[in-house]
Structure 1
């Protein structure tokens, strides 16, 4: 009974201490360290030049940029490790002390930084910044809360059984490695050891544990991983992202119902994680104590005397400033003037703060590669999407060997036709002879002209969102053939265009500035607000992992429509619409149609263009 009582006391102390630590680190990460590191990376590494897609990986390859990027990465690692050391220290000291201040935890944890002053720092950085957030169990931090395999990669792999198997194998692999190195952070924090020595100490502890205790410890973390994945799946589309904590948080909160729901869910999940951290860390410390392996850690409660010494001088300065301010404010001649100026400043700031630019047009339902109910990128898939209420159907176009624009996504035919040949190495006739299989359905590869003619005959005149997929050698030819086909079929009002290749976008825009042309983005680094002025585009099509209130606000204020791909969840779609999305690119156009129709009934928005189709521009 006494043991249960002491454990309950430890749990209460630990929860209070961990909550203090998490509030402190989250505020610092969201509003200080995060923006500072982002500024440093953008200014020093990128040189204030925003880059997107594959250019992201090439932007830091110069020697100077690479060195600066490594320095920033190491700085991130030190901060992530410091937060984890504070969490471990908070639970550890909570076992010994009734009252534990944040100052005590922060000071005691500084000693643990000795383990990072070692030649193995780069290895430690990879472990704390990339690996632990990838698993996201137990050792959490606020600066890099979670690392995921990019959605655009996972999405493509999930379209095949082998891809799904590969994803599961990768996940199982890094979870196994995580369990093998499970006690490394405890060794680094409690024994003040470097990463290599901590790995060695980790295995020493494991050898001391019985098999029962070892498996029980692993089972606890596996349960954490499974439970959190279930919670995240249940809250899909409801949670807000960490970048949504910025100076516009009040505006998001007042404007968006989904933001308020997401914030509430985020807070509840954060509290659950705090309790889970305490429970798990208490279990580990008790386990180490059981085998007489728990290191002695000085309480490090000192330091208050130094603080007291500086108080009188500081207080004296504050009193002098306060007297001066009071004297100025109390002056009758200036009191009304100061009050009026203050009110004007507040009103001006509030007006600017809550002012929003209009959205470009009413939101569209856009079928991704047609829809999921037929073989992708086939005429049947587009016609089905039209029947399900899609405003546009997104298709992918690339050139055949003989220069014919063909509607197909992959560069090769391995996934769709079980052939290793590349599309650019086969003629149009050879491609059209093939039978492709996707979404459990069979179909034929159409030419772009056949697809355009087919949509012109759809009942609701569904449009095409044409994604150009050129190679470096055939970019000019592809752009030219697309223009030729659209003009030949008189389909300029039924087609809009985009590409991951900005050169194709630029050429198309130069030839036909009156067409609706956008840039497709799956990732980017640098200042988005600079990019939207630099690129000559009408809209952005962004991978849904990039969609946040902050991102959408920047695009909206710059007069750009944003279409988000590939969203197949009702909650996600609703959230994106409240953020200001002008289109949802989805495998399920019927769900998007229903979500948009519901949204339009319940929301009143001001649109710069309220006609049918896309906003017309002068030739």
Structure 2
């Protein structure tokens, strides 16, 4: 029998309601499940998925130095599509199972059920995966599972997974006229779409229904709800969004999906900031579980979405019981076998000492970490964010703000000159929005175009002018020259850049890189000595370096940077430069992982963070 309702304010009534509905014990079961599930997912399933992708890559891709489209095309084979499809299905099933458990906990809290066994709850959640045996699940895959290009798979235990584009793309969009308005409109659209579909997880977990039917049921139920109920649900959903926004605003990121690999313990031991990030990751799991249970409880208290009683998929139930029974039986059998083997052993103390020594030696080998190839450096992205991009002034200002290296982009003009410019046309930076193709226009005409960035007019410089500016600003400023071939001119661009660098005696202060494999190959053919440094710019990579790259450094987009990539680069003695990191806190975070350079628009802030973190 329930207790009599107590008097008092809203907090007292909420405490009374939580006690009478056994919210504490149910929530404890939810958190225990969440921590166990996330540990299994992060330490077993994610590494297994990465191994499957890497197995396919090692077996089928000739060279990883290819364009973004080339990487995707190489996956468009029967084995490649099957590999991606299998991982997408596993990610979706794992996310739905996780949500099912949390939503069922909320449903029991809402109706005041007496807490039962966690195994029974997991069994019911597993049975409800049969809802995915419907063609509409193809639409559920991108909704329930966030599948980043080339299967950097991660799940988010929230009603609506957060879709986060690469940070550099957001920064570029913000720099464009109206970019902030576009981003705000995009976020608002995603927020409204998520609000409209907020009831889908509850419908999928409590009803025998497909994803399409759950969408229809959730949307119609929400639209037909009284205004007071709608306001309550929107408020709860808004609270979820606010919690997510506040969490995303933290200066330190949680661990990337790819950081859960064989090097996890090594970084826990060596990197204090990594330990902080791991702790934040665990805290995020807990907060997400509590948020989902709380939100779903409000849903069940507000709408007629009670559990369909008495149904379960018999096949799924038998499968769950079989798997559980096999796991228990084999675990008990292994324990008995080990105990009998130990009992029959002779010289147990000697063997124990040998075993402990062997384990200690293995641990020492595991913990040992090769030093980074060189002390971390600050690299100004296209100069610096306080001056017009790829301009002579940006090179000089970057040096003043503390840059050790300045990254610039170079292209070949229609009359065989090398200019410092990023885009293929002038439209984005031309003051009059004139669109001239760099590869099809003469240098004279290109320099007649008035460019404007950060409200400052300037003229498109040549590579010779950029090198001259670097030589004049200080004696040790280096240039990271990124070659951007267009229309099959990779060989010629490489030849012209190498010739200019040699003519001006700037070889020892130059780093040449490109995303284009042909340009890299031609540079390697042309370089005449070990002082040449040639690097590969990684974008949409697989997040690993288990292939012979034949370059002196790599530059990787920050969303792809992880401990596996950095550790493999360390073993090969290859410096890693991360682009484009515009947060000093994140810059310190990457330096703590062992990267050798940070490419940033915020040169001054990054220089201070890198100097502090590199001590």
Q: Please state if 1:6 is matched with 2:17.
A: yes
Q: Please state if 1:523 is matched with 2:536.
A: no
**Which has the higher mean CA deviation after the structures are superposed, 91-100 or 517-526?**
91-100
Which of 52, 55, 68 in structure 2 is aligned with 1:40?
Answer: 52
Gaps in structure 1 of 5+ consecutive residues = 602-619
Where in structure 2 are the equivalents of 1:499-510 lying within 5 Å?
499-510=514-525
| Distance change >3 Å, CA 135–CA 437, structure 1 → 2 | farther
Which of 251, 259, 264 in structure 2 is aligned with 1:249?
Answer: 264
- Matched residue, 1:321: 337
Q: Is the 8 A contact 1:74 1:122 kept in 2?
A: no
Give the Cα separation in 1 of the matches to 2:426 and 2:194: 37
Q: Is the 8 A contact 1:42 1:48 kept in 2?
A: no
Which of 152, 159, 171 in structure 2 is aligned with 1:155?
Answer: 171
Pairwise CA distance, 1:323:
4.7
| Distance change >3 Å, CA 69–CA 275, structure 1 → 2 | closer
Pairwise CA distance, 1:31:
1.8
Q: Is the 8 A contact 1:567 1:573 kept in 2?
A: yes
**Which has the higher mean CA deviation after the structures are superposed, 85-94 or 579-588?**
85-94
- Matched residue, 1:581: 595
RMSD: 2.9
Deviations 1:224-268 (A, max 9, x none): 2133212221x2334332332333333212211211222232233
Q: Is the 8 A contact 1:365 1:584 kept in 2?
A: yes
- Matched residue, 1:419: 434
Q: Please state if 1:469 is matched with 2:477.
A: no
Deviations 1:542-582 (A, max 9, x none): 11112222321121112110111111222111111111111
Deviations 1:577-602 (A, max 9, x none): 1111111111122222222322344x
| Distance change >3 Å, CA 438–CA 223, structure 1 → 2 | farther
Q: Is the 8 A contact 1:237 1:569 kept in 2?
A: no
Give the Cα separation in 1 of the matches to 2:329 and 2:231: 57
Give the Cα separation in 1 of the matches to 2:212 and 2:102: 22
- Matched residue, 1:490: 505
Give the Cα separation in 2 of the matches to 1:209 and 1:315: 50
- Matched residue, 2:387: 374
| Distance change >3 Å, CA 538–CA 172, structure 1 → 2 | same
Q: In structure 2, the residue corresponding to 1:415 is in which secondary structure? A: coil
- Matched residue, 1:387: 400
- Matched residue, 2:9: none
Pairwise CA distance, 1:310:
8.6
Pairwise CA distance, 1:309:
9.1
| Distance change >3 Å, CA 254–CA 401, structure 1 → 2 | same
Q: Please state if 1:138 is matched with 2:158.
A: yes
Q: Is the 8 A contact 1:398 1:408 kept in 2?
A: yes
Give the Cα separation in 2 of the matches to 1:457 and 1:312: 73
Which of 457, 464, 467 in structure 2 is aligned with 1:449?
Answer: 464
- Matched residue, 1:560: 574
Deviations 1:290-330 (A, max 9, x none): xx442343498x9999999999977984575255223334x
Q: Please state if 1:343 is matched with 2:356.
A: yes
Q: In structure 2, the residue corresponding to 1:70 is in which secondary structure? A: helix
Q: Please state if 1:65 is matched with 2:85.
A: no
Q: Please state if 1:283 is matched with 2:288.
A: no
**Which has the higher mean CA deviation after the structures are superposed, 59-68 or 578-587?**
59-68
Which of 584, 596, 606 in structure 1 is aligned with 2:610?
Answer: 596
Deviations 1:26-51 (A, max 9, x none): 11211222122222233247736374
Where in structure 2 are the equivalents of 1:257-296 lying within 5 Å?
257-288=272-303, 292-296=304-308
Deviations 1:501-525 (A, max 9, x none): 1221122122215211111112212
Which of 181, 187, 210 in structure 1 is aligned with 2:203?
Answer: 187
Q: In structure 2, the residue corresponding to 1:457 is in which secondary structure? A: helix
- Matched residue, 1:117: 133
Pairwise CA distance, 1:464:
0.6
- Matched residue, 2:443: 428
Give the Cα separation in 1 of the matches to 2:393 and 2:268: 43
Give the Cα separation in 1 of the matches to 2:328 and 2:37: 29
Give the Cα separation in 1 of the matches to 2:328 and 2:508: 74
- Matched residue, 1:609: none
- Matched residue, 2:415: 402
Pairwise CA distance, 1:91:
2.0
Give the Cα separation in 2 of the matches to 1:306 and 1:22: 23
Gaps in structure 2 of 5+ consecutive residues = 7-12
* TM-score between the two structures when normalised by the length of structure 1: 0.88
Give the Cα separation in 2 of the matches to 1:461 and 1:45: 40
Give the Cα separation in 2 of the matches to 1:307 and 1:357: 42
Where in structure 2 are the equivalents of 1:78-89 lying within 5 Å?
78-89=93-104
Give the Cα separation in 2 of the matches to 1:312 and 1:85: 24
Give the Cα separation in 1 of the matches to 2:225 and 2:446: 62
* TM-score between the two structures when normalised by the length of structure 2: 0.88
Q: In structure 2, the residue corresponding to 1:185 is in which secondary structure? A: helix
Give the Cα separation in 1 of the matches to 2:554 and 2:170: 21
**Which has the higher mean CA deviation after the structures are superposed, 57-66 or 78-87?**
57-66
| Distance change >3 Å, CA 323–CA 210, structure 1 → 2 | closer
Pairwise CA distance, 1:135:
12
| Distance change >3 Å, CA 305–CA 405, structure 1 → 2 | closer
Give the Cα separation in 1 of the matches to 2:504 and 2:327: 80
Q: Is the 8 A contact 1:386 1:460 kept in 2?
A: no
Q: In structure 2, the residue corresponding to 1:416 is in which secondary structure? A: coil
Q: Is the 8 A contact 2:95 2:157 kept in 1?
A: no
Give the Cα separation in 1 of the matches to 2:395 and 2:327: 72
| Distance change >3 Å, CA 561–CA 135, structure 1 → 2 | closer
Deviations 1:365-401 (A, max 9, x none): 1111111111110111101111222111100000111
- Matched residue, 2:10: none
Give the Cα separation in 2 of the matches to 1:537 and 1:31: 32
